[in-house]
Structure 1
Amino acid sequence: MEQTTTDLSSANPPVAFGTRLARYLARFWPAPLPVDGRERLRACMGVFVGIAMTGLLSRWWAGVNHVGPWLVAPLGASAVLVFAVPASPLAQPWSVFGGNTLSALVGATVAMFVPDPAWAGAIAVGAAIGVMFAMRCLHPPGGASALLVALSAQSFSFAVFPILVNSILLIVAGLVYNTLTGRAYPHSPSMPASREKGAVTRFSAADLDAALAHYNQVLDVSRDDLEALLHHAEANAYQRNFGQLRCRDVMTPDPVSVQFGTSLADAWALMREHKIKALPITDRERRLVGIVTMADFMRNADLRSHEGIGRRLMNLVRKKGGTHSNMPEVVGQIMTREVRVASEDRHVAELVPLFSHGGHHHIPVIDKENRLRGIITQTDLVRSLHQAI
C-alpha cells in the first residue's frame, strides 16, 4: 500500500524572528479604553476637585501645630479609582476607607516588630492584602498605604491622621462630584433590560457563578455589573442577528398555491404531494384572496364524531359527477378569506407574537400590490431564531 507524506515545513513555513518578536511585544501594548473625551475630562476634573478639597481641608485640620504630612501619596491612586472608575468594586466607599485605614494599621503593626525596612515593607503589603480580602475592602492603594507606614515606621496615629481623614474627605468629594456628573456612587448594579422583561437568555445566574469560580481571579467589575453587561451584549447580538431580519430573508419563496376554482381533490393532492398544511389562494394576477389549510378540510368533513373521519374526508375531496351538489367542490368554498399577511419588508421579530400567541402556523408574504411572494411557516421562524442565537 502506497503511503503519501506531507511536507509540514512547506505547509507551515517558519516565522521570522523579527515577526515573532513584534508579536510578543504587541502583547504589552494596552487596548484602547472604551470611553469618550467627555468622560475622560469628567474623570480628570473629578480627581482635581477631590484632591484639592481633601488637601485643603486636611491642611486646615492639621493647623500650624501639626508635625508631619497632612496628605499622603496613596490618596492619588484612590482618587483615580473613585473618579475615573466609580463603578469598580475596588473604588467603593468601604474599599477606600477600609482598604487605606486597615492597611495603614497593618503597616504600623509590622514596623513595630520588624526593624528591617525591606522585610517590613514586604510583610506589611502581603498582610494588608490578606486583611483587605478578609474584610471585603480590597483597594490597590491600600498596599501603598501599608508600605508607606512600614517604611517610615509610623505610629498608629498616622493611620488616623492623615490616612483615615484623607480617605473620608475623598469619599465625600466622590459622593458629591460623581452624583452631580451623572455617575452613581456608591455604585448600584443595574438589572439588565432583558431580565426585567422576563426574556429567556442563553445563560443563567448559576452559569455565570460557575464561570467566575472557574476563572478564580479578582475582576475589576462587580458580578452583577458583569451579568448586566453580558445580557446587554447578548441582546445586542440578538438584535443584530435576528432583529434586522426581514420577511424576505426567511420566507419560502414562490410557495405552492391554487386559485379559487381549484377542486378540493386537486388541492388535497398538492398538499399531500408537497407535504404542506396550507395553500395560499390567488387570482389570475397572483393577488392573495384567501388561504386553505388542513383545518379547513377537517372542518368541512364534519369532525363532531371521530368515527369514520377518513371516509368523510375522502367523500369531501372526491370529485362529484353531477351538475348540482350540496357539498363544496372547490377551494374557494372552504377557504379562509380573512388572512393574516406580512409585507416583504416587515421585520421577522414582529411576527413572533403571531406564532407564539396568535395561533398562526402559516403567514403569506405579499408585495406592495398584494401579490403573493412567499410564505413563512413555524419551521422558517424557528430556523431563523436558531441562526440568530
Structure 2
Amino acid sequence: MLIRDLMSAPAITVLGETPVSEALRLLDQRKITAMPVVDRDGRLVGVVSEADLMQDALELSDRLPSAPISVSTSGRSRRVAEVMAHLVVSVHTDDQLDDAIDVMRSTMVKSLPVVEADRVVGVISRSDVIHLLAERDDRIRAEVNHALRQRNPIWHAEVDSGIVKVTGPGNEADRRQAEAVADAVRGVVAVHIT
C-alpha cells in the first residue's frame, strides 16, 4: 500500500512565525500530536510537536513562574521556529506504507510529513496505521465472503489477524477452490478450511 492511500490530507501546517499559543490551540483542537512547519511556499522546514511545546512551557515556568507561557524574554510572543525540531524525517506520497512504519518504529516518531514535489501534502501517523489495522479484518471478511458466495452461497469465512477460516466446502475440489478464492484477497495471511 502506498502512503498516499492512507495519509491524512491536507496536512495541518504552521509557519515558523506562527505564535506558540496558536500552535498549541491547533494541536488541541485538531487532536493531533505534531504539525509540519513549512515556509511560505509550503516546503518543509521543521516539525513542532506536543513535546516541543510542553518543554517550552516547562522552561518558561521554571524561569518565570508568574509570566504567561507564550511570552519570550524579549516581550513578544514566542514563535514556532524557536521551539520546533529542525532535523525532520519525511516520506513521499509514492513510498510504501511499510517504509513509513519502519521509520516510525526505528525513530519513535509518531507522525511523518508526507511530501510531493518538495511540498507538504499530508501526514502519516501511527494512529492512521492503527486505524487501518483495526479495520483490516472487517474488510478482508467482507471481501472473502463476497467472493465465496459467488461460488457457493453456503460457504462462510471468519477472519482474525488476517487468518481466514472458511466453513462449508465439503469435497477436496471445493476446499481447494475456496482456499484459492480466499487467498486471492489482499491482506490475507493464511487460509484454513474447516
Given the two structures, how large is their TM-score scaled by the length of structure 2?
A: 0.62
2:30 equivalent among 239, 252, 274: 274
Asked if the contact 1:341/1:366 (under 8 Å) is kept, the reply is: yes
Structure 2 residue runs without a partner (length 5+) = 137-161, 163-194
Displacement after TM superposition at 1:301 (Å): 2.7
Cα deviation 1:45-83 (Å, max 9, x = unaligned): xxxxxxxxxxxxxxxxxxxxxxxxxxxxxxxxxxxxxxx
1:216-235 matches, within 5 Å, as: none
Cα deviation 1:316-366 (Å, max 9, x = unaligned): 32x56x8x34x8710011110111100000000122222233211010100
Q: What residue number does 1:357 align with?
A: 106
Q: What residue number does 2:95 align with?
A: 346
CA–CA distance in structure 1, aligned partners of residues 24 and 118 of structure 2: 25
RMSD of aligned alpha carbons: 2.8
Asked if the contact 1:328/1:334 (under 8 Å) is kept, the reply is: no
Cα deviation 1:97-152 (Å, max 9, x = unaligned): xxxxxxxxxxxxxxxxxxxxxxxxxxxxxxxxxxxxxxxxxxxxxxxxxxxxxxxx
Secondary structure at the counterpart of residue 25 of structure 2:
helix
What amino acid maps onto 2:114 in structure 1?
A: V
Q: What residue number does 2:41 align with?
A: 285
1:316 aligns with 2:69: yes
Asked if the contact 2:14/2:37 (under 8 Å) is kept, the reply is: yes
Displacement after TM superposition at 1:302 (Å): 3.4
Asked if the contact 2:90/2:113 (under 8 Å) is kept, the reply is: yes
Asked if the contact 1:342/1:364 (under 8 Å) is kept, the reply is: yes
CA–CA distance in structure 2, aligned partners of residues 336 and 263 of structure 1: 15
Structure 1 residue runs without a partner (length 5+) = 1-244
CA–CA distance in structure 2, aligned partners of residues 272 and 261 of structure 1: 19
1:194-233 matches, within 5 Å, as: none
Displacement after TM superposition at 1:267 (Å): 1.1
1:1-389 matches, within 5 Å, as: 245-302=1-58, 315-317=68-70, 319=71, 324-325=74-75, 329-367=78-116, 369-388=117-136, 389=162
Secondary structure at the counterpart of residue 281 of structure 1:
strand
CA–CA distance in structure 2, aligned partners of residues 343 and 383 of structure 1: 20
Displacement after TM superposition at 1:372 (Å): 0.5
Corresponding residue pairs, total? 136
